[in-house]
Amino acid sequence: MHEESRLTAYHEAGHMVVAWKLGLNVLGATIVPDPEEGYAGRVKVPVEDRVRYADWVKSEEDYLYAHLVRCYAGMEAGERYVGTPMPELNIDLGLVGPDSDYPQIADVLLTIAGPDQDEQIETDERAKRHARNLVSSRWSQIEAVAQTLLERETLDEGECRQVLESVGLS
């Protein structure tokens, strides 16, 4: 197995586990690269008007914050896997496909934190810390999901649910 595939599996597993933990829907995952679409792997987590469960979500801002944390969790899991920060890693931080209302992190931060740059910076840092904490506390689950991705390469919605539930996320 190529080291690049392993890194991609950990990155995508980070997205999956944290999204699920935060109550977001995970509709599919792959570590099969698609150069035409510009990704080495992908987890489908749509921005919707609902969550599976999430008592903590009281507003659109809370919901978008969960997506922001999910984005950063992939980077955090990849960095934890290799054991070093990877600022040169080119990662698409778009939240969903081209039809999204929130295609860029900056747009999400503006919606969550408003126009004040200091508030945007604080919100961004808080989301990164939240992602780091979730990745750290769920590392064994991320490892198990990454292993499944390495074995199967692509999971549909039902398979994602089954894998996430099998590692103790309900």
pLDDT average per 10 residues of sequence, the chain (170 residues): 84 95 91 84 79 65 87 92 69 42 69 87 93 96 96 94 88
Angle made by CA atoms 79, 53, 155, in degrees to the nearest 5: 50
CA dist., res. 32 & res. 48, Å (int): 25
Side-chain half-sphere CA neighbours of 92 within 13 A: 18
**Cβ pair 108, 164 in contact under 8 A:** no
Q: Report the DSSP pairing between strands 42-44 and 154-156.
A: unpaired
> Of the candidates 40, 36, 45, 39, which has an alpha carbon nearest to the alpha carbon of residue 17?
45
Angle made by CA atoms 95, 97, 103, in degrees to the nearest 5: 45
- State the pLDDT at residue 19: 93
Name 164's Cβ contacts closer than 8 Å, sequence gap at least 6.
16, 17, 20, 26, 145
> Of the candidates 109, 137, 146, which has an alpha carbon nearest to the alpha carbon of residue 124?
109
**Mind listing the pLDDT tens digit for each residue in 78-126?**
999 988 876 544 444 444 444 444 457 778 888 888 888 889 889 999 9
Give the global pTM: 0.85
CA dist., res. 66 & res. 121, Å (int): 16
- State the pLDDT at residue 110: 83
- State the pLDDT at residue 35: 82
